[in-house]
Structure 1
Amino acid sequence: MSTPYDIEFKNVSFQYPQSDEWALKDVSFHINENEWVAVIGHNGSGKSTIAKLMNGLLTPQHGHIQVKGMEVNEENIWEVRKRAGMVFQNPDNQFVGTTVIDDIAFGLENHGFLRDEMLKRMDYSLKAVNMEGYENHEPHNLSGGQKQRVAIASVLAVEPDILILDEATAMLDPKGRRSIMETVHHVRREREVSVITITHDLNEVLFADRVIVMNDGKVWREGTPREIFNLHEELNQIGLDTPFVTHLSSSLKAEGIELGQEPLTHKELMDELWTFYSRT
């Protein structure tokens, strides 16, 4: 028997109460094991609705959602949430403990872990997000980036198979966003975990293996970051911009400077330019 996807949406439709429009319209996709997928789209495209459906915070009117082969429903919602941990946009809404260590312990206690195992997991999760030494700090007095790292640590302590970041860097400055993405990247190197990034920041997409683009409640495109960023004009038409590097690459091509592939980073752009000039 084949291994089930980490997450699978099958013909999912969802409509908020008092709304005449469907937030999601017959949406189907899957997330493979140990895959990093970015879900992007403009405001109102349906991407944040997807995050809440994954974690059972919302229930679809039509279709089915499975997490690690389990149907997401009231009967197994707590097991689903153990497997799929979510970090929200505002970490203050997640904090329940008076100190960092209390906050991490809260989730472990809810899942029934014994004290010795809790101590090991709290130590591991704090090291994973580079927050050792902050155990007795009050979460609300930390910086925005530190708060998000603590929120991630609280989720990691339970050792979920899937980490869902729902606009988790939206309230941070560019340096803070980069730090959180590097933290998640580090966690993935340490242990196998699937990551779903729900974001409007296209720079975060560079970390992903695959991108799902939402538009008007539907899956508009799927592909690698390179394939998606190559759709400059189409992305602009649905209200999405592309990173500076891809803008510059497009301008260079318009001037007759043909690059071998769509660069995603400054380093890739420099490498492509060196290759181009070595041929001329």
Structure 2
Amino acid sequence: MRECFIEFRNVSFRYGDEQPWVLDDVSFTIYKDEWVAIIGHNGSGKSTIAKLMNGLLFPQKGEIIINGIPVNEQTVWDVRKQVGMVFQNPDNQFVGTTVQDDVAFGMENRGFAREEMVNRIDEVLQAVRMEDYLLTEPHRLSGGQKQRVAIASLLAINPEVLILDEATAMLDPKGRKEIMRTVSEIQEKNEISLITITHDLEEVVQAERVIVMNSGKVWAEATPRDIFKQKDDLRKIGLDVPFVAVLADELKQLDIMIKNEPLNHDELLEELWTLHSKM
């Protein structure tokens, strides 16, 4: 049995008493060390979920539990010690005049000893491959480099959960791949829970599980493979499917009998090679 880490219990939220519910009776569980992708069209409630997890917002109905702690105004700082969040625009998170200062900021606020801070700065910047930029001013960095520093700043305070809220949306394809490769390595090495809120389908297929939001409700939750089998239904709620899955369907229309549901190019090539070998 996996250890439950985050629970949403019948959570509802809206931005004002006269506004429609952004989240409507939402329940789900995220386990320790699990990678979950949350997807949905704009306005489906996925970014609101991230802010509720971090105590930036509080629900009007229901309850949120983080590692056994109910999220409320009294516990919010205890929750934030465990939950780190990287936003779409890293410039909004920088507070230091250099990369070194920015990574140190969170540790200073938590009373880390100076020697430990120095060691951890070196450690986390190496983890995100930014150790050569220690004294660089953040505004001189590229978008991908800024996101790496933002991730390092969170890793320095040892979060149990890392949330990426559209954190790669402003990057080019190469930058997105580099960031997700880094995050994947960090998640595996540090055994933290990873929650990615994204429109990027290449990110989604890497997750262990996908939660699909639609009109403020959980529309579905399953493995990426099982989610993307529902191609027509996903399109009806305004979501796309990976190109490889679309291509596999087109090949089936040509009587090329692909048995599995490939999610990436390697899986599709493996299917085609297997078919070729049997001919």
Common topology (TM > 0.5):
yes
Deviates more, 1:104-113 or 1:17-26: 17-26
Percent of paired sites with the same residue: 63
Runs of 4+ in 1 over 6 A off after TM superposition: none
TM value normalised by structure 1: 0.97
Per the alignment, residue 165 of structure 1 pairs with: 164
Deviations 1:53-109 (A, max 9, x none): 000001100000011111111111111111010001100000000000000111001
Report the AA paired with residue 220 of structure 1. W
Give the number of equivalent residue pairs.
Answer: 279
Task: Give 2:8's aligned residue.
Answer: 9
Structure 2: gaps of 5 or more residues: none
Partner in structure 2 of residue 196 of structure 1: 195
Helix, strand or coil: the match of 2:131? coil
- Once residues 5 and 272 of structure 1 are traced to their aligned partners in structure 2, the CA distance between those partners, rounded to angstroms, is 36
Q: Which residue does 2:20 correspond to in 1?
A: 21
Partner of 1:64: 63
Question: Which range moves more in the overlay, 17-26 or 195-204?
Answer: 17-26
User: Is structure 2 residue 88 aligned with structure 1 residue 85?
Assistant: no
Q: Is the 8 A contact 1:4 1:69 kept in 2?
A: no
Q: Which residue of 2 aligns with 1:176?
A: 175
SS at match of 1:7: strand
Q: Is the contact between residue 12 and residue 24 of structure 2 (CA under 8 Å) also seen in structure 1? A: yes
Partner of 2:21, secondary structure, is coil
Measured after TM superposition, the shift of residue 124 of structure 1 is 1.1
Correspondence 1:233 to 2:232: yes
Aligned residue in 2 for 1:39:
38
Worse-matched range after superposition: 60-69 or 116-125: 116-125
Is contact 2:2-2:31 (8 Å) kept?
no
- Residue of structure 2 in register with 1:272 after alignment: 271
* Structure 2: distance between partners of 1:60 and 1:276: 52
Deviation at 1:200, TM superposition (A): 1.4
Match of 2:141 in 1: 142
**Match in the other structure for 1:246:** 245
User: How many Å separate the matches in 2 of 1:260 and 1:19?
Assistant: 50
TM-score, normalised with respect to structure 2: 0.97
Quote the offset at 1:19 in angstroms.
5.2
In 1: Cα distance, 2:66 partner to 2:222 partner: 22
Distance 2:212 2:253 in 1: 26
CA RMSD in angstroms, aligned pairs only:
1.2
- 1:206 positional shift: 1.7
Q: Does 1:219 align with 2:218?
A: yes
Report if the CA contact (8 A) 1:13-1:25 is conserved: yes
Q: Distance between the aligned counterparts of 1:151 and 1:138, measured in 2?
A: 13
Q: In 2, distance between residues paired with 1:49 and 1:131?
A: 30
Q: Which residue of 1 aligns with 2:185?
A: 186
Cα displacement (A) at 1:203: 1.5
In structure 1, runs of 5+ residues without a counterpart are none
For residues 146 and 19 of structure 1, do their structure 2 counterparts lie closer, same or farther at Cα, with a shift above 3 Å needed? farther
Q: Is the 8 A contact 1:131 1:149 kept in 2?
A: yes
SS at match of 2:4: coil
Displacement of 1:277 in angstroms is 2.4
CA, structure 1 residues 112+209, in 2 after alignment: closer, same or farther (shift >3 Å)? same
Matched letter for residue 241 of structure 1: D
Provide closer, same or farther for how the CA distance between residues 19 and 124 of structure 1 changes in structure 2, counting only shifts above 3 A.
farther
**What is the deviation of 1:279?**
2.7
